[in-house]
Structure formats: C-alpha cells, structure tokens
C-alpha cells in the first residue's frame, strides 16, 4: 500500500508519470541553474580529494583486478588503469560535502520522488558520485541496480534513482544510457562468465541493445530511472569531464544501505542564484 501523494510544485505531471512507467526513465533538462551546477562541480572535486586522502587508511581490496577501498561505510572505486589514482565512484558521498547533503532534501527532487516511491515521507537509500575524467573515465557495463540491493532490502521496487548531471553529457564523454522498457521484466539474471563481478552485469540475452537511449543532456539536468532499468555507459574518449551524482530514495524511516543509519528527508526549496 502506498500513500496518496498530493500534487505540488515540481511534481511530475500525469504525462510524465505515464512515460516513466512505460519507459523506466524520465528526463527533465536544466532543472538546476548554472550557479548551482558550478557549486556541484566544486563540491565533487572537494569530495574526490577527501575520499582519496581517506583511502590511505582504508581497507584495500581488488575484484577482477579493480581497486576498491572501504573507509567506514564509504566505498571508493578507482579507475581500472594500472596505477591510476583517478576515482571512478564514491558511495555514499553526501557526508563529504554539505552541498550534497542539502541536495538530498531539494524539493525539485523530493516532490517527484514522493510520487515514484509512493510515500510522502522519504529517506535516503544510497547516493554515489560518478567521476568520468577526460580520456580516463571507463565504461559501466549494462546492469540493473535491483540485483545489488535485493538481499539488503525488502522493498527493492520502491528504490527509484535520480541522476543530476554536473557537466554537459554527450556520447563522446560517455553519457548515461538506458534500455527503454527493460524495467518491466523485473530482476534479470546476471552473466556467468566466471569473473567475480560478472553476476552483477545483466545477461545480454535478456534485453535488446537496440532499445538503448543515450542521455545527451545539458548540465543541471535530472534523469529519474527505475531500479530495474538496465543502464550503463561507454568510456569517456573526450577532453571533457562527465560528472554526476545519483541519489536513491526509499520510504521514510528505513535505514540507508551502507551506514545502516536512517537519514530521513526534510524537503526544502533549493538555493538558486
């Protein structure tokens, strides 16, 4: 049973909700101002510096020869190039900068998420910073989020994501891609290629790459996508960064994925220029 969510400013229209339910994703372009985007970019660089410094005292390990470092509840994933100090993903990231913590409560995200979660009260499930550095940012293979989370959560169907872009996203800098309609099949099986991480990548026989949509959007755009939507990206072959944060919401009162702490959402207007 879900709550009846009142229509409010920034809520999704009926047409948008229909498109999301049909396609498994929805785009709103240029939701955040140039000034806000600039602050997000600066916060991303500060967070990356903090995460790299903290990694010196963290627990290092490798999966399929890819370096990961756990620092408390935070996991830092490094780029695949041997010896690289470039960070690929930081999860969670909101504790590393107040700008990101405040972003979780921004009504421009919260109002649509109330509808997609089906609850007026929301909490954070997880958030991660993706850093696709120029000429270094590697690809993300096709995968769903739900299989990562299904063993840790009894309401995996109520964990919608929203990506906020910090840079213009294009095919050349490895923009986010989704497989339209793939969420309708629920949790799909992973690959069985004998690697440590292979099971987390979706079996390519279970979807059609011809249905992929490249999210070429301006900086400050938001992309809502279902936890069952198959998604991924190509490498960044350009001289332009492609940074973004992905925030995943859930019904209020439930603990976050990695910290186990409850971080309820307190909706507030965004700070614009």
Q: Which pLDDT does position 5 carry in this prediction? A: 73
The pLDDT tens digits for 49-99 are 999 999 999 999 999 989 999 999 999 999 988 778 899 999 999 999 999
Q: In angstroms, rounded to a whole number, what is the distance separating the alpha carbons of residues 79 and 81? A: 6
The total of structural domains in the chain comes to 1
Q: Does the residue 266 lie in any domain?
A: no
Q: Does the residue 272 lie in any domain?
A: no
Q: Which pLDDT does position 1 carry in this prediction? A: 47
Q: Which segment of 7-11, 58-62, 160-164, 213-217 scores lowest on mean pLDDT?
A: 7-11
Q: Does the residue 83 lie in any domain?
A: yes
Q: Which pLDDT does position 271 carry in this prediction? A: 63
Q: Does the residue 261 lie in any domain?
A: no
The pLDDT tens digits for 99-122 are 999 999 999 999 999 999 999 999
Q: Please, are residues 147 and 156 in contact by the beta-carbon 8 Å criterion?
A: no
Residue 132: CA count within 13 A, CB half-sphere: 29
Q: Which domain holds residue 247?
A: 14-251
For 53, the enclosing helix (H) or strand (E) is helix 34-55
- Tell me which long-range contacts 146-152 makes (C-beta under 8 A, separation of at least 24): 146/186, 146/187, 146/227, 146/228, 147/187, 147/188, 147/190, 147/199, 147/200, 148/200, 149/125, 149/227, 149/257, 150/187, 152/257
Q: Does the residue 68 lie in any domain?
A: yes
Which tokens in the block code for residue 69?
């470092």
Q: Please, are residues 55 and 69 in contact by the beta-carbon 8 Å criterion?
A: yes
Q: In angstroms, rounded to a whole number, what is the distance separating the alpha carbons of residues 206 and 188? A: 7
Q: Which pLDDT does position 218 carry in this prediction? A: 98
Residue range 177-204: mean pLDDT, rounded:
93
Q: Does the residue 99 lie in any domain?
A: yes
Cα R_g (the chain), whole angstroms: 18
Partnered with residue 27 across adjacent β-strands are: 223
Say whether 173 sits in a helix, a strand or coil. Answer: helix
Q: What is the CATH number of the domain that holds 39?
A: 2.60.120.620
Q: Does the residue 49 lie in any domain?
A: yes
Q: Does the residue 8 lie in any domain?
A: no
């Amino acid at each position: 049973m879900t709550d009846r969510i009142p229509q409010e400013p920034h809520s999704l229209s009926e047409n948008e909700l229909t498109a999301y339910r049909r396609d498994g994703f929805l785009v709103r372009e240029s939701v955040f101002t140039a000034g806000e985007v600039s602050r997000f970019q600066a916060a991303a660089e500060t967070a990356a510096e903090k995460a790299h410094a903290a990694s010196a005292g963290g627990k290092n390990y490798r999966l399929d020869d890819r370096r990961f470092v756990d620092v408390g509840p935070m996991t830092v994933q490094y780029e695949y190039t041997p010896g690289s100090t470039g960070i690929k993903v930081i999860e969670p990231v909101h504790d590393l900068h107040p700008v990101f913590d405040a972003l979780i409560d921004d009504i421009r995200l919260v109002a649509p998420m109330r509808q997609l979660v089906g609850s007026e009260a929301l909490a954070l499930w997880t958030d991660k910073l993706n850093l696709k550095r120029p000429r270094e940012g590697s690809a993300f293979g096709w995968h769903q989020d739900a299989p990562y989370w299904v063993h840790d959560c009894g309401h995996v169907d109520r964990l919608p994501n929203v990506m906020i872009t910090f840079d213009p996203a294009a095919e050349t800098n490895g923009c986010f891609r989704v497989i339209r309609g793939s969420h309708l099949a629920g949790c799909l099986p992973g690959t069985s290629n004998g690697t440590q991480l292979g099971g987390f990548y979706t079996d390519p026989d279970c979807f059609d790459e011809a249905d992929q949509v490249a999210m070429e959007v301006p900086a400050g755009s938001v992309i809502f996508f279902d936890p069952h939507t198959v998604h991924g990206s190509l490498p960044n072959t350009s001289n332009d960064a492609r940074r973004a944060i992905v925030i995943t919401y859930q019904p209020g009162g439930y603990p976050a994925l990695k910290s186990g702490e409850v971080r309820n959402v307190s909706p507030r207007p965004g700070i614009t220029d």
